[in-house]
Amino acid sequence: MATRHHPVRNVRLFTRNKFWLAFITCLAVILTTSVSAHAKKRRKQRAEPVPVVSTQSKLLAGLPHAMDVLANGLKIYAVKYPSPGVIAYQIPVRVGSRNEVLEGRTGFAHFFEHLMFRGTKKRTGKEFGDLYTRLGVENNAWTWNDMTNYHGTASPRVFEQILEAEADRFMNLSFDEKLFRDEAGAVLGEYNKNIANPENVIEEKLAELAFEKHTYGHTTMGYKSDIVKYGERYGDVWPFFKRHYRPSNTAIVVVGDIDPKRTIQLVKKYFGPWRNPVLTAAALRAESVPPEPVQTEARISSETLDKPAQTRLAIAYKIPPFSSENSDFAVLNAIAEIAFSDISPFVQKYRYEQKWLDSVYAPVIEMIDPGIWTVNLRLSNTGKPHTETLITEVQKTLNALASAAPSSSILTEAKNRLMNERNVGWFSSPDALASRIAWYSTIDPPSLAGFSVLDRVMNSIKTLAPNQIQSFAQTHLVEAKRNIVILRGNE
Ligand SMILES: [Zn+2]
């Protein structure tokens, strides 16, 4: 099917050129009258209150924008962007492999993403695909630890038809067991293809090593031993749908050639009737995500593939959860920039002078719960005998930041690069902007809903001070919180 997806917890999805964006702060606490009026009238059907920090963003000052929360808890973000004849939309749902707490169900959120293309009471999956082809919609979806995102680009003229079809599948998903089994087979094929890539093997091993209790201990793809049994799990689909695919867990982001207020009205028309199913306290408890105990000792694991491959190192540190209310991720982004960007002394020395490394990649990925930050190294043949030295040198690089704060000129340069990347990346297209709004509004704590998350993220970079770098490195980037996987080919 042309209308499907794939980034399953694929870190390259997050290359900063493509995604990283930027912003400044506007903390006015505004709750629109329509939100509070609805809230009073229909409090019963709302699963949880949805406070809105701000319906406006200073960073989007040049772009008319509006935000609203429906009575059912669905959040709507609409931005007018100068892209005549084009809109981008994203429908992020706050569910991912993090929510796979039940035994034998790893990978279920991703599997479910596939099922969302399999039809409703009103139209089959094929009819859904044909409709989008006819309307000229390019649509797709991806699943990650913390979220599942359905997105597309189209002409604004067909947006109402898209909304009708999207609301239909979010509210009335339906397919028979045969289609369900076919899709289970497709997901197994995808697993087999993915696991042939050593990057995915090392990621699976690293997750297992770093997390003993938390569901971040398995990848979004899940384990093969679970995937092969998906065909028997038809009965599990509907409770999962009910639990996670609910308006209070979902947002709709639209960026492009639109009138923001009119867009909100249109979304209301189709998604307003969506209800939050009632869940018992026991059902909620059964699916609560287990917290990860604090790591107190370094961990290391060595793995060998059953085929020749370059040696890879994943060196990961436990980090706090993301919240746009603090600067932790701004600090970490600056550390990644100073320590492991292409112009850093480490990369200059080991990649370009010694030629021990073919690639260095240390993406900072925001996570809902305490997660990891990973320095990924792929070693050249020349570098292979120096695996231990490289581990030591990575730690030394971070220890240097812990023992002395970077000079303000080094930090200023790093901050400028980070802000420029965000300014360029975020505003490069309606799709890029929509995806950043979808991402941050989903990963940020639900109590902080609103456009101003963008401002807070940018402002936290702008206001970074050298001592914050030092104190973060001292607290988090230490051997006791380190997890290393060494992956070698079989030679
Ligand atoms: Zn897939």
Report the separation in Å between the CA atom of 477 and the middle of ligand 1, taken as the mean of its atom positions: 33
Q: What confidence category does residue 283 fall into, taking pLDDT thresholds of 50, 70 and 90?
A: confident
Average pLDDT of the chain, as a whole number: 90
Residue 293 lies in a domain: no
268 and 405 share one domain: no
216 and 348 share one domain: no
185 and 53 share one domain: yes
Does residue 14 register a pLDDT over 60? no
Question: Can you read off the two tokens belonging to residue 416?
Answer: 């400028």
- 3-state SS, 100-165, equals CCCCCCCCHHHHHHHHCCCEECCCEHHHHHHHHHHHCCEEEEEECCCCEEEEEEECHHHHHHHHHH
Report the separation in Å between the CA atom of 296 and the middle of ligand 1, taken as the mean of its atom positions: 36
92 contacts 251 by C-beta, under 8 angstroms: yes
Report the separation in Å between the CA atom of 141 and the middle of ligand 1, taken as the mean of its atom positions: 8
Report the separation in Å between the CA atom of 454 and the middle of ligand 1, taken as the mean of its atom positions: 29
How many CB atoms neighbour CB 345 within 10 A?
Answer: 11
pLDDT at position 49 is 57
Nearest to 395 by CA among 330, 473, 467, 338: 473
Report the separation in Å between the CA atom of 142 and the middle of ligand 1, taken as the mean of its atom positions: 7
356 and 458 share one domain: yes
Does residue 474 register a pLDDT over 70? yes
Report the separation in Å between the CA atom of 301 and the middle of ligand 1, taken as the mean of its atom positions: 28
pLDDT at position 149 is 98
pLDDT at position 356 is 98
CATH of the domain at 455: 3.30.830.10
Does residue 30 register a pLDDT over 80? no
83 and 230 share one domain: yes
248 and 382 share one domain: no
Residue 98 lies in a domain: yes
Does residue 56 register a pLDDT over 70? yes
Does residue 41 register a pLDDT over 60? no
Residue 291 lies in a domain: no
DSSP for 409-478 reads: HHHHHHHHHHHHHHHHHHTS-HHHHHHHHHHHHHHS-GGGEETHHHHHHHHHHHT--HHHHHHHHHHHSS
Q: What confidence category does residue 435 fall into, taking pLDDT thresholds of 50, 70 and 90?
A: very high
334 and 456 share one domain: yes
Report the separation in Å between the CA atom of 118 and the middle of ligand 1, taken as the mean of its atom positions: 13
420 and 473 share one domain: yes
Domain's final residue, options 258, 286, 314: 286
pLDDT in tens, 445-454: 999 989 999 9
pLDDT at position 285 is 82
Residue 5 lies in a domain: no
Domain's final residue, options 260, 286, 312: 286
Nearest to 73 by CA among 95, 42, 30: 42
Does residue 417 register a pLDDT over 50? yes
Report the separation in Å between the CA atom of 46 and the middle of ligand 1, taken as the mean of its atom positions: 31
Report the separation in Å between the CA atom of 258 and the middle of ligand 1, taken as the mean of its atom positions: 31
The strand pair at 52-54 and 449-450 is best described as parallel
Name residues whose C-beta falls within 8 Å of residue 420's C-beta, 6 or more positions apart in sequence. none
pLDDT at position 45 is 44
Distances (CA, A) of 485 to 213, 306, 346, 361, 362: 19, 16, 20, 15, 15
Does residue 26 register a pLDDT over 50? no
Q: Mean pLDDT throughout 362-374?
A: 98
Q: Mean pLDDT throughout 151-166?
A: 98
Does residue 478 register a pLDDT over 80? yes
pLDDT in tens, 184-225: 999 999 999 999 999 999 999 999 999 999 999 999 999 999
Q: What confidence category does residue 19 fall into, taking pLDDT thresholds of 50, 70 and 90?
A: very low
Report the separation in Å between the CA atom of 150 and the middle of ligand 1, taken as the mean of its atom positions: 12
Residue 100 lies in a domain: yes
- Lowest mean pLDDT of 19-28, 229-238, 383-392, name the range: 19-28
Give how many domains the chain has, as a whole number: 2
Residue 4 lies in a domain: no
Report the separation in Å between the CA atom of 190 and the middle of ligand 1, taken as the mean of its atom positions: 6
Q: Mean pLDDT throughout 286-304?
A: 95
Q: Which residue has the higher pLDDT, 27 or 358?
A: 358
188 and 83 share one domain: yes
169 and 312 share one domain: no
233 and 162 share one domain: yes
pLDDT in tens, 240-261: 999 999 999 999 999 999 999 9
Residue 3 lies in a domain: no
Q: Which domain holds residue 422?
A: 299-488
Does residue 353 register a pLDDT over 70? yes
Domain's final residue, options 286, 319, 351: 286
**Reported pTM:** 0.89
Report the separation in Å between the CA atom of 436 and the middle of ligand 1, taken as the mean of its atom positions: 21
Does residue 10 register a pLDDT over 50? no
Report the separation in Å between the CA atom of 224 and the middle of ligand 1, taken as the mean of its atom positions: 14
Residue 15 lies in a domain: yes
220 and 345 share one domain: no
Report d(CA 210, CA 297) in Å as an integer.
11
